[in-house]
Amino acid sequence: MVQHSRIDENTDIEVPRYWYNIAPDLPKPLPPPIDPLDADISLINRLRELLPSELIDQEFTFERYIGIPKEVRELYIEIGRPTPLVRAYKLEKSLGTPAKIYYKFEGVLASGSHKLNTAIPQAYYSYREGYSELVTETGAGQWGLALSIAGSLFGVPSTVFMTRSSYISKVKRVELMRKHGATVIPSPSNITRVGRGILEDEPDHPGSLGIAISEAVEWVMEKPESRRYLPGSVMEYVILHQTVIGLEAIEQFRAIGEYPDKIIGCVGGGSNLSGLAYPFYREYVEGRAKLPEIIAVESSLIPKASRGEYRYEHPDAYGALPMIKMYTVGRHYKPPAIKAAGLRFHGLASSLSLLIREGLVRVRAYDPDSVREAAELFYRSEGVLPAPESSHAVLAAIDEALEAKRRGEGITILINLSGHGLYDEDFFRG
Ligand SMILES: Cc1ncc(COP(=O)(O)O)c(C=O)c1O
């Protein structure tokens, strides 16, 4: 029996008019990025050769709120924002738990994941600053697809270096990126120095996000006057853009008179979890609410937060980008070719790493088989297929709900369902 209509949770709310920047509210100052490679070029000048200047400003700003440009906000509405907050009644029932499980469903966005929330502003600023080619890396293709769509909305084509293992297994996303005019290149490739070097030693290298980033950066450095490098995670400004998720969720919970006790998200570079959780952290800092328990879920095969070190490291494999302080397994780590390819990154965003270090975010790691079983249960119960990445968060929510059942606690759990898995044709293949 359906207890409530989903409409309860989707009460009309506005798309936010600003993004929330956590920097001034962090318990300690964010350790600044450092560039050990080239002491002669200032860090900012180095970044200016790669990124649109508006995004560099956003990376380092201490302003708490950044207005969302009108053009970007309008596109947010066109691509599906606000996204629904859905209560997973049938999953709760199949677990027999007294816990309430809600998910913020970013998979309804036009590209199928949360990545479009930052792809649109990144493409917008690049277009406004006159660049004619957007360059990036992608794992599962969610980011590459989002950027290809956003670029084509502004008439700017994308070049996407896609980790080779995913290029082979996620055929649909490659096809969809190309339909949007993107050039998709399996990484390591033979069109960059970095890629050629790797292929010489290992012609079948499966690739990694770290290598793909190095290739993308090298590609931009060849023509900095017309190309910009646009990353899908890790940078603080990416998280800033993703805070639309949490800002909406707060309003949606307010409308139904509920509040989460636990917030759960998977972590690649950390942007979907942070985008959901940081606005709730603001509510806590401003004394309006308790701090929910925030849980970051990673793959046990890329255990940067659970088994990595907290130290300075480059976000890319070859050290072309400035080092940031983060939890990392090291940039030379060779991640196995898991289906949740968006989690195959060796580090975590600096602000999220700091919050983990300070004990404000907990970490959990799961193996691929348990994650796939959780996805199947969610799919059978809810009729919604979560992306392999998001399924890590689903499994953590199931574990929390079962623990609540053991304790007889009616807690409220919120998951970021960062994407759908309909194009992850390899997911259930074992
Ligand atoms: C659906 C989905 N969720 C999560 C992630 C992980 O990235 P982040 O931690 O930045 O959200 C990815 C990355 O590609 C993704 O495609």
The rounded Cα 53 to chain-centroid distance in angstroms is 22
> Counting atoms of ligand 1 from 1, which one is nearest the CA of 138?
14
Residue 44 domain-assigned (yes or no): no
Which of 229, 261, 293 is at the close of a domain? 229
Amino acid letter for position 114:
H
Q: Say whether both 308 and 410 belong to one domain.
A: yes
Supply 213's token pair.
């980033």
Q: What is the pLDDT along the chain (430 residues), one digit of tens a residue?
A: 334 444 445 568 999 999 999 999 999 999 999 876 665 566 777 888 999 999 999 999 999 999 999 999 999 999 999 999 999 999 999 999 999 999 999 999 999 999 999 999 999 999 999 999 999 999 989 999 999 999 999 999 999 999 999 999 999 999 999 999 999 999 999 999 999 999 999 999 999 998 999 999 999 999 999 999 999 999 999 999 999 999 999 999 999 999 999 999 999 999 999 999 999 999 999 999 999 999 999 999 999 999 999 999 999 888 888 999 999 999 999 888 888 888 989 999 999 999 999 999 999 999 999 999 999 999 999 999 999 999 999 999 999 999 999 999 999 999 999 999 999 888 877 6
Q: Say whether both 151 and 208 belong to one domain.
A: yes
Residue 204 domain-assigned (yes or no): yes
The H or E element containing residue 19 is strand 18-20
Distance, CA of 173 to CA of 177 (rounded, Å)? 6
Short-list 270, 351, 276, 273, CA closest to 23: 351
Residue 178 backbone dihedrals phi, psi, to 5 degrees:
-65, -35
Q: What is the pLDDT of residue 11?
A: 62
Q: What's the CATH code of the domain at 251?
A: 3.40.50.1100
Compute the C-alpha angle 232/236/242, nearest 5°: 60
Calculate Rg over the CA atoms of the chain: 20
Q: What is the pLDDT of residue 180?
A: 96
For the stretch 8-35, pLDDT in tens is 455 689 999 999 999 999 999 999 998 7
Which of 229, 250, 273 is at the close of a domain? 229
**3-state DSSP call for residue 155?**
coil
Q: In terms of DSSP bridges, do strands 227-229 and 133-138 run parallel, antiparallel, or are they unpaired?
A: parallel
Look up residue 108 and give its DSSP letter: G
Residue 402 domain-assigned (yes or no): yes
Q: Say whether both 266 and 405 belong to one domain.
A: yes
List the alpha helices (DSSP H) in 141-235: 142-153, 164-169, 171-179, 193-201, 209-222
| Gap from CA of 277 to ligand 1 centroid (Å) | 15
Residue 423 backbone dihedrals phi, psi, to 5 degrees:
-100, 5
Residue 58 domain-assigned (yes or no): no
Other beta carbons within 10 Å of 145: 32
Q: Say whether both 215 and 255 belong to one domain.
A: no
Nearest C-alpha to atom 12 of ligand 1 is from which residue? Answer: 342
The rounded Cα 129 to chain-centroid distance in angstroms is 25
Short-list 295, 272, 305, CA closest to 397: 295
Residue 364 domain-assigned (yes or no): yes
| Gap from CA of 170 to ligand 1 centroid (Å) | 15
Distance, CA of 347 to CA of 325 (rounded, Å)? 9
For the stretch 331-363, pLDDT in tens is 999 888 888 888 989 999 999 999 999 999 999
Supply 420's token pair.
């759908």
Bridge partner residues of 328 (DSSP): 309, 347
Q: Say whether both 244 and 365 belong to one domain.
A: yes
Q: Say whether both 148 and 266 belong to one domain.
A: no
Q: Which residues, judged by CB distance below 6 Å to any ligand atom, belong to the binding site of ligand 1?
A: 113, 139-140, 142-143, 233, 266-272, 342-343, 387, 389-390, 418-419
Residue spans of beta strands (DSSP E) within 307-375: 309-313, 324-328, 361-366
Burial of 379-392, coded b for 16+ CB within 10 Å and e otherwise, reads: bebbebbbbbbbbb
Nearest C-alpha to atom 6 of ligand 1 is from which residue? Answer: 268
Q: What is the pLDDT of residue 420?
A: 97
Supply 395's token pair.
């499994």
Residue 270 structural domain = 6-20+66-113+235-429
User: Domain tally for the chain?
Assistant: 2
Q: Say whether both 213 and 303 belong to one domain.
A: no
Phi-psi region of 244 (alpha: psi -120 to 50; beta: other; left: phi over 0): alpha
The H or E element containing residue 250 is helix 236-256
Q: What is the pLDDT of residue 200?
A: 96
Q: Say whether both 364 and 223 belong to one domain.
A: no
Q: Say whether both 302 and 421 belong to one domain.
A: yes
Q: What is the pLDDT of residue 46?
A: 80
Omega into 27 within 30° of 0, i.e. cis? no
Q: Which residues contact 87 (CB under 8 A, 6 or more apart)?
A: 4, 6, 8, 9, 100, 101, 102
Residue spans of beta strands (DSSP E) within 291-339: 293-299, 309-313, 324-328
Which of 172, 198, 229 is at the close of a domain? 229
Residue in 266, 348, 424 to alter for ligand 1 test, most ligand atoms within 8 A of Cβ:
266
Q: Say whether both 105 and 160 belong to one domain.
A: no
Residue 308 domain-assigned (yes or no): yes
**Cα-Cα end-to-end distance for the chain:** 34
What pTM did the predictor assign?
0.96
| Gap from CA of 342 to ligand 1 centroid (Å) | 5
Q: What is the pLDDT of residue 7?
A: 45
> Counting atoms of ligand 1 from 1, which one is nearest the CA of 270?
9
Q: What is the pLDDT of residue 9?
A: 54
Q: Say whether both 398 and 362 belong to one domain.
A: yes
Q: What is the pLDDT of residue 5?
A: 42
List C-alpha distances in Å: 378 to 135, 197, 389, 399: 35, 43, 14, 13
Q: Say whether both 281 and 362 belong to one domain.
A: yes
Short-list 330, 367, 366, CA closest to 348: 330
Supply 401's token pair.
């709900």
Helix-then-strand count for the chain, H and E = 16, 14
Residue 275 domain-assigned (yes or no): yes
Residue 59 domain-assigned (yes or no): no
| Gap from CA of 310 to ligand 1 centroid (Å) | 21
| Gap from CA of 343 to ligand 1 centroid (Å) | 7
Q: What is the pLDDT of residue 47?
A: 87
Residue 156 backbone dihedrals phi, psi, to 5 degrees:
-120, 120
